[in-house]
Amino acid sequence: MARYVFITGGVVSSLGKGLASAALGALLQARGYTVRLRKLDPYLNVDPGTMSPFEHGEVFVTDDGAETDLDLGHYERFTGVSARNTDSVSSGRIYSTVLEKERRGDYLGKTIQVIPHVTNEIKDFLATGDDEVDFMLCEIGGTVGDIEGLPFFEAIRQFSQDKPRGQCIFMHLTLLPYLGASGELKTKPTQHSVKELRSIGIAPDVLVCRSDKEIPAKERAKIALFCNVRQDAVIAAPDLKSIYEAPLAYHREGLDKAVLDAFQINHSPKPVLDRWEDVADRVFNPEGEVRVGIIGKYTQLEDAYKSIVEALTHGGMANRAKVKVEWVDAELFDNEDAEPYLKGLHAILVPGGFGERGTEGKIKAAQFARENKIPYLGICLGMQMAVIEAARNVANLSDAGSEEFDHEAGEKRFTPVVYHLKEWVQGNHKVERKVEDNKGGTMRLGAYTAKLAADSKVAGIYGSTTIEERHRHRYEVDVRYRDQLENCGLTFSGMSPDGSLPEIVEWKDHPWFIGVQFHPELKSKPFDPHPLFADFVRAAIETSRLV
């Protein structure tokens, strides 16, 4: 039976609960324990799949096709444990399930209430798979006191009472603000946050205090006294130069020991942190630097491309190089020459996205990379833009475009070399979709197999002719244009097993130009960089030496 650590936050949002949870998971693994991490989000959306990236950052997709919070990306990157659809839940999903049961008559005519029906549903979610691991780490989104989060706090309070004594602990993250006028850290916000938590029946066992200053012993003692926790369970969480320093930093502060002490585990193996020491060494001691341009339309919010940025960092680690990301808004050169915006870059990456806005700029970026022999990685929409660019400028299909853009405009303007996928095979059954279907969860989602041409660049990079990668898209490159494009030099080097869906394209006469329909960034880890990103950064390094 798993031991549970519930991670909550107070004072302000975005304190780093997800990173702290992921780092704690990594530290428990380093001591030989097995872990699984989960996220409970109080918002009423069923999942983040239909949210704008400006609202909630990127959508992280699991192998089994769940669209989840970006914190699950942190969990995977730090622990290597693949997330599942049972590792993320929202108020919307909980309430939807409760209402479906009510409509079916499962509650036998009873009045449906938040307590016990909603809280029981949350507890059932928490208990899923608790016999699989040693520790289950469950992060509650938002901050204590948020009205929408109250059912989750009540559920974890009940859950801890239902379990045997000592089976659950609570870890609370707060902020220690520094006031320059008085020259001191203020503990009162933390005290009030803990008071709010205790008022709903939850007493924290471990306090993690975020601060950009060192926490003096006097303040630690004060926090311990007024918040009723042990002094060695008051953990400092200072700002770090890299998130990959977090496991080592939290270990130095004693987080893993404080958690084990709270469980009264007194004889845990010492942590083996060689993996994280190597990661930190690669981050802080690079032997060169490359400039990689991300050409997107959500560039004002870096979290919209969180996994891509981290995968580039991992690719840099693999090559002992620092990757300096240059953010370029694709809309800036929709109707202008791309060169002034792209010259000087050592590599170009065009990520995924939805809608027509900024796509002409992305097409120009693909053209600039092709013509100037600059390494190019197109992901999802980035691959489709590369295909459209090839069709227009090499294969003489001047009106080539995507059916997505015609649907958005409400008129037919393009020859659709990219079309809306209406049916495909998932596992052992056929999936059918219509343009007018609901948006949520109706894309090609999750892990799918691709077959690679044996003599292709990607087969050499992967070291295999069969791969499995995660997808999230509604539109596909039309295989009917394959011969026309391949005759011009754009090779369809990866296909679905039945040969109907293009998965990868690459230019034969280019040093490094690859487009992929899937999202390789979702599977990259600091200690196991994705091969595509590792080789992409290697190619960028080669380009930097020629400049």
pLDDT at site 422: 63
State the average pLDDT over residues 507-526: 96
Average pLDDT along the chain: 92
3-state helix/strand/coil string of 270-325: CCCCHHHHHHHHHHHCCCCEEEEEEEECCCCCHHHHHHHHHHHHHHHHHCCCEEEE
What percent of the chain clears pLDDT 70, i.e. is strictly above it?
Answer: 95
153-187 burial string, b = 16+ CB within 10 Å, else e?
bbbbbbbbeebeeeebbbbbbbbbbeeeeeeebeb
pLDDT at site 15: 84
- From the list 74, 172, 346, 519, the catalytic residue is 519
309 pLDDT above the threshold of 80: yes
State the average pLDDT over residues 444-454: 94
List the chain domain ranges.
Answer: 3-279, 286-546
Cα–Cα–Cα angle for 197, 201, 202, nearest 5°? Answer: 55
pLDDT in tens, 154-174: 999 999 999 999 999 999 999
Neighbour count for residue 434 (Cβ, 10 Å): 10
Domain 286-546: CATH superfamily, name plus number: Class I glutamine amidotransferase (GATase) domain (3.40.50.880)
Cα–Cα–Cα angle for 149, 155, 159, nearest 5°? Answer: 150
Torsion angle (degrees, nearest 10) of CA 8, 12, 13, 14: -100
In which band, very low, low, confident or very high, does the pLDDT at 315 lie, cut at 50, 70 and 90? very high
Q: Is 3-279's fold the same as 286-546's? A: yes
Q: Of the given ranges (232-241, 411-420, 482-491), which has the lowest mean pLDDT?
A: 411-420
Q: Of the given ranges (5-14, 46-55, 140-149, 529-538), which has the lowest mean pLDDT?
A: 46-55
Do residues 127 and 157 make contact, with C-beta atoms less than 8 angstroms apart?
A: no
Question: Where is pLDDT greater, at 336 or 467?
Answer: 467
CATH number corresponding to 3-279? 3.40.50.300
pLDDT at site 547: 60
Question: Where is pLDDT greater, at 508 or 405?
Answer: 508
407 pLDDT above the threshold of 80: no
pLDDT in tens, 352-390: 988 888 889 999 999 999 999 999 999 999 999 999 999
pLDDT at site 362: 95
423 pLDDT above the threshold of 90: no
Question: Token pair for residue 108?
Answer: 């036998």
**Which amino acid would we find at residue 447?**
A
State the average pLDDT over residues 51-57: 78
In which band, very low, low, confident or very high, does the pLDDT at 153 lie, cut at 50, 70 and 90? very high
pLDDT in tens, 320-332: 999 999 999 999 9
pLDDT at site 51: 83
Q: Of the given ranges (162-171, 198-207, 321-330, 413-422), which has the lowest mean pLDDT?
A: 413-422
CA 368, 373, 377, 381 torsion-angle sign: positive
- From the list 380, 469, 473, 476, the catalytic residue is 380
Catalytic annotation present for 380: yes
Q: Of the given ranges (387-401, 424-438, 446-460), which has the lowest mean pLDDT?
A: 424-438
Question: Where is pLDDT greater, at 521 or 420?
Answer: 521
pLDDT at site 540: 97
Whole-number Å distance between alpha carbons of 204 and 170: 5
State the average pLDDT over residues 442-470: 94
Give the HSE-up count for residue 118: Cα atoms under 13 Å, Cβ half-sphere: 20
State the average pLDDT over residues 175-188: 86
